[in-house]
Amino acid sequence: MISLCRRVRVTNHFLPRLYSSDVNWSSSDVRKRFIEYFVNENSHKFLRSSPLRPISDQTIPFVNAGMVQFKSVLQGKHLPPAPKVANSQKCARVGGKHNDLDAVGLDGYHHTFFEMLGSWSFGSCDKAEACKMAWKLLTGPFGLSPARLYVTYFGGDGQMGLPPDHETKDIWRQLGVQDSHILPFGTSDNFWEMGLVGPCGPCTEIHVDHVPDRTNAGARVNAGFSDLTELWNLVFIQFNRNKDGSLTPLKYSHVDTGMGFERLVALLNGVKSNYDTDLFTPLIQAIHKISGCDPYSHSFDENDSTFQKDKSYRILADHARLLTVAIADNVFPHLECKLRWVLRRALQISDNFMGKEGTGAPLLIELSSYVADSLHSVYPEIGKNLAKVERTISHEAEIYQAVRKEFPKNWVHLVKSKPELESLLVFGSNRSALSAAYRKMNSTNGLNSKVSPALAYHMYESHGMSAELIGEMAKISGKTFSVEDYEEEFEKRRQQSMLSTATKFVASSDSFVGLLDSGKVAKTNDLAKYDYSPYADQYSFPSVSTKVVGILEDGSLKKSAKGGSECGVVLDCTNFYHTAGGQASDEGEILVPSSNGKISLSVKEVSKVGKYVIHYGNLNGTLTVGDSVITKIDEAKRMACMRNHTLAHLITASMQQIFDAPLQEKCSVNPSHVKMAYNLHGQKLTVEEVKRLEESIQYSIDDQLPVSRYSVNSWDIPPGTTVLPDETYPVDNIHIIDVKRGNKIVSREACCGTHIMNTKDIGKFCISEVILTKKASVICALTGPDAAEASRNSITLSKNVNSFLKQVLAVRETVHDLISSNSTDLQTRQSTFDAIIKVHDTYNSIKKFMLENSRRISYLTYDAALTGVREGLSEIHSMARAATEFDVKRKAINANFVVHYLPLSECLEKILLSKYTRLVNGPVMLFALHENETKVRCCVPQEIVSENFNAMLWMQEVLPILVQSEGDVVKTNFSSEGLTLSIQSRAFVYKSKIPLKERKHRCYEGCKAASKFVSRQFKGKKEN
């Protein structure tokens, strides 16, 4: 069990029912009544919850408040979705400014995941209306007694120059709230700020007294007591906090209100804590039922013997909710370390409930289904993505179990001296990495009390440690760590890396932004990149007439550039697509029409930096700012990219149908192919799945499905839209690409790339390559002419393999006949050997074809061919072994000695000459060729060894013939049976200069020399 360092003040958790027993509020009814009140009775627009991970804001890992999706509206950057809005927003608080992780389980109302009931009024700050609506809902439909409600308001701040908010105080008076229940508080409690800079303003809060019949409890408001807590916060956003700390009134003010849903449900039902509501009781009951542990006993007293058990119940129920909702919203533990921390903590607690390490995952997976039952009616994505949740938890549990099995000795010693280090394992690093990092942190810094940004980056780069993990380790080491300094160092290193790997053009792109801004260069309108239409069997890509507004050369902004230079050109509008969304940029030409073709820029690369699209390339003639030009893209390359990009979407859509949790991690779209990498969370991409994938995609192509593009704002993204977890999308003008079969969505993705308008335009298609690594399954696919070439190659390969296998069967019969007949006919024997060599040559030919065209052959055809040729090769090896054994045996009949070159040696899997020399009783020397090796083995029986004749003397006769280069490597192997010589020619290995014919000739010459030598020992005796 993990110890929790922070303790929350808990004074009274006994909350008797506030109402009669016939009043029961289900969580669904509470949520529904809140929404209906604002939408139906107060003219608000309902907006569904945004995903738990902000798609337009990467500054925070999770949505931690209802206002996050409207942040840009409050900042005045974007228009609101409606004047008045209401919703229930999914929120998580597990890190950063708002972190309730350590408090979970200690009290009855802190959670890692919760829902925020919210209402907003954009563009006007009607305090009276906001207070009135809140008061009427609580005291009307929800039936709360006004006597139990206390309200707070901003009491002013002299340093900020802000007077008390008496307007709000008077509004509450007018609504009938007693003066003793209207309390002023300072900036920390009643002045809301988004950050160090940005929108801010006073707020008023409604607090509720949980103790019945109590009066004059105002002193307990904002005092940390759990028996009188905040219920609803109404923020009046009237100012903007400037960088110098001063406040400026906003042109348009807003009202932002938020109320904790779980607290409200508990309050309306008069139960002891949020864990006693229908949001949690099914989970707690399931834990008890599945684990068989003692039942939950509602204890919040740390001195109670059941407290630790009950705390574990609460933590596990809470964490199961966060994990289910987060993963269903495409937040994956391996990408978000805090979520992995929560998951591993939940697994540890589940193990404790189940009584054995590594057995808790099924319990956690089962709890996720209870969460889905509770929430899917309001958040349908949870039910739809439940298989993804289960698969991810299962895979993460396997990874964690593997981590826990690693126990290096140095880690054991460290934990003995610093037990707190054990808690760091939940962050995902293994013990070896943590040991090394901990020692590095404490040895490098010595007596320093601060972890430097450079050291922190080293710990990230060398040991894979996240900022959160470094911070926790620093805390254990008694050192400070600045996340801001680390992030600055990280960004500096990232930029350096980009500069070192980027092309010459792109490397300088970011530095150009300041030049273009200072030069007041007009921003580029590039919407024309989407201006194309089908025409006959092709697409029409109209050229664009535009003007040069900026020229970049040698790191400077110039008025003109001369011919022969490499430069970047900015236009006021363009139809060139810049690199984005995994798609390669366009190529083409920028022409000055008045020059009759003498002035042009051959565009090789296009990038967008800030608001500028920069066209890089080689200039012909002199180009000047203000010149009128025409843009012409390379239509063939653009068309290929469009085909491939739409194919990429179909691949992802089909992967989502086949696998539980396919996470697209990389996408590369260029004219020649599309390459997609997926994390399948432990599932495998087999040949059968590839076949299903191809069939699904081909079905969509054959059905000639329309492909449409439209734009939405971030709060209007259609349900089920595929978005990438690590991608930041704009607040407005998010492009959605739909592929539909009638009214059914086949594929729906947020994507800025260019696409064909009908799947039929993909034409031919095939998956050409599948690469399986430990972390990803990579799929490469082809379309158009490339796919047509792959189709032709696939047909050729299939025919060749089929012919090869038939040839193998025929030769097998021939070999069988030779051996079974025990033929002594040399011609029959030679023709059989020739047939084996010929079929082996066919194998080599097919192998060469497959290697040369590996990326231009259908993967399924390639895989089937590979299986076929392997089976055929196995047969060849078997035939060659049998025929060689037969050959040597025939040679040894009635012979005093045998000197022989094995003609089938190159057809053997490996050369085991000792096996064949044992077939001969007398002196024997066998020669063989295999790949780049020449092998010779000779054996001389001990009874005929003499001063003039032994294996060494015999081998010395042939060695000069076989070794004719100083680069040849000669290896010898002596045994009691004989001597083996292996000759490897470096010239052959590295330069392939010695052809097979020449190597064979040397073997035959060696045979002659060996025979001549041994013949002198056996004058007048028979040799084979």
Read out DSSP for 332-345? -TTT-HHHHHHHHH
Q: Strands of 742-888 (E only): list them.
A: 744-750, 765-772, 777-783
| Structure token pair of residue 411 | 């880690």
d(CA 211, CA 220): 12
Beta-carbon contacts of residue 486 (< 8 Å; ≥ 6 apart): 453, 456, 457, 467, 470
Average predicted confidence (pLDDT) for the chain? 88
Helix (H, G, I), strand (E, B) or coil at 954: helix
Kindly tell me the burial class for residue 629, based on how many C-beta atoms sit within 10 Å of its own C-beta (0-12, 13-18, 19 or more).
buried
Cα dist from 451 to 454, 458, 460, 570, 636, whole Å: 8, 11, 13, 44, 54
Kindly tell me the burial class for residue 251, based on how many C-beta atoms sit within 10 Å of its own C-beta (0-12, 13-18, 19 or more).
exposed
Per-domain residue ranges for the chain? 27-279, 288-404, 412-498, 504-633, 641-763, 782-893, 895-1024
Domain 27-279: homologous superfamily in CATH: Bira Bifunctional Protein; Domain 2 (3.30.930.10)
Bin 477: left if φ > 0, else alpha if -120 < ψ < 50, else beta.
alpha
d(CA 761, CA 540): 13
User: Positive or negative, the Cα torsion across 347, 348, 352, 357?
Assistant: positive
CA neighbor of 428 nearest in space, from 488, 379, 484, 469: 469
Kindly tell me the burial class for residue 928, based on how many C-beta atoms sit within 10 Å of its own C-beta (0-12, 13-18, 19 or more).
buried
The pLDDT score that the predictor gives to residue 322 is 98
Beta-carbon contacts of residue 962 (< 8 Å; ≥ 6 apart): 934, 936, 981, 983, 1002, 1003, 1006
CA neighbor of 1007 nearest in space, from 941, 950, 934, 944: 934
Helix (H, G, I), strand (E, B) or coil at 68: helix
Helix (H, G, I), strand (E, B) or coil at 465: coil
| Structure token pair of residue 58 | 């990467």
Read out DSSP for 420-489? GGGGGGGGS--HHHHHHHHHHHHHHSTT-SB--HHHHHHHHHHH---HHHHHHHHHHTT-B--HHHHHHH
The full length of the chain comes to: 1024
DSSP element (H, E) containing 136? helix 127-139
First to last CA, the chain: 81
CA dihedral of residues 439, 443, 449, 454 (deg, nearest 10): -80
CATH 2.40.30.130 is right for the domain spanning 504-633: yes
The alpha carbon of 422 is separated from its chain's Cα centroid by a whole number of angstroms, namely: 28
Kindly tell me the burial class for residue 775, based on how many C-beta atoms sit within 10 Å of its own C-beta (0-12, 13-18, 19 or more).
exposed
Bin 853: left if φ > 0, else alpha if -120 < ψ < 50, else beta.
alpha
| Residue 261: HSE in the Cβ half-sphere, 13 Å Cα cutoff | 29
CATH (residue range 641-763): 3.30.980.10
Beta-carbon contacts of residue 440 (< 8 Å; ≥ 6 apart): 455, 458, 459
Fold of the CATH domain 782-893: Methane Monooxygenase Hydroxylase; Chain G, domain 1 (1.20.58)
What values do phi and psi take at 388, rounded to 5? Answer: -65, -45
d(CA 678, CA 771): 11
d(CA 945, CA 943): 6
993, 987 contact by CB (below 8 A): yes
Amino acid letter for position 29: D
Cβ count within 10 A of residue 250: 18
Read out DSSP for 872-897? HHHHHHHHHHHHHHHHHHHHHTT-SB
836, 904 contact by CB (below 8 A): yes
Cβ count within 10 A of residue 447: 4
CA neighbor of 232 nearest in space, from 208, 201, 198: 208
To the nearest 10 degrees (0 to 180), the angle between helices 361-375 and 307-328 is 70
The pLDDT score that the predictor gives to residue 914 is 87
d(CA 108, CA 623): 71
| Structure token pair of residue 465 | 């440690």
d(CA 1000, CA 901): 9
Place of tokens 């348009």: 252
Angle, CA 533 vertex, CA 531 and CA 538 arms, to 5°: 130
d(CA 386, CA 382): 6
Cβ count within 10 A of residue 543: 15
User: Positive or negative, the Cα torsion across 98, 102, 108, 111?
Assistant: positive
The pLDDT score that the predictor gives to residue 428 is 55
d(CA 197, CA 151): 28
d(CA 352, CA 293): 10
The pLDDT score that the predictor gives to residue 1018 is 77
d(CA 606, CA 244): 39
Helix (H, G, I), strand (E, B) or coil at 667: strand
Helix-, strand-, coil-residue percentages of the chain, each rounded to 5: 45, 20, 35
Place of tokens 């013997």: 305
864, 800 contact by CB (below 8 A): no
Residue 278's beta-bridge partner residues? none
Cβ count within 10 A of residue 842: 19
Q: What DSSP character marks residue 907?
A: G
Angle, CA 766 vertex, CA 765 and CA 767 arms, to 5°: 140
Question: What is the architecture of the domain spanning 895-1024?
Answer: Roll (3.10)
User: Taking the model in full, what pTM does it have?
Assistant: 0.85
CA neighbor of 566 nearest in space, from 514, 620, 512: 620
| Structure token pair of residue 15 | 């909350």
| Structure token pair of residue 348 | 């540890």
pLDDT digits (tens, 9 = 90+) for 561-572: 998 889 999 999
Rounded to whole angstroms, the maximal C-alpha distance in the chain is 134
Q: Which segments in the chain show pLDDT lower than 70?
A: 1-23, 96-98, 406-410, 425-432, 444-448, 464, 491, 494-511, 964-970, 972-994, 1020-1024
88, 375 contact by CB (below 8 A): no
CA neighbor of 601 nearest in space, from 627, 639, 636, 635: 627
Helix (H, G, I), strand (E, B) or coil at 146: helix
Read out DSSP for 646-666? HHHHHHHHHHHHHSSS-EEEE
